[in-house]
Amino acid sequence: MASALTVALSLAFVAVLLLALAVPTAFVAWMWALAAGLLVAATTCAVVAYARRK
């Protein structure tokens, strides 16, 4: 089962992606960077949680 932190980071990733689709293009670049960072953080948390279970 996914940890609460992984779920929270994944939801934040989706929220940033949806927001990036709704704002002017001037803000999109930093939102994509933020989304990428959130995706990396969520993936890292999932991998660490998986490794601890093994």
pTM beyond 0.95: no
**What's the pLDDT score for residue 1?**
53
For 8-37, b where at least 16 C-beta lie within 10 A, e where not — what string? Answer: ebbebbeebeeebeeeeeeeeeebeebbee
**What's the pLDDT score for residue 17?**
80
* pLDDT single digits (tens) 19-47: 877 877 766 777 778 888 888 888 888 88
pLDDT band at 2 (very low <50, low <70, confident <90, very high): low
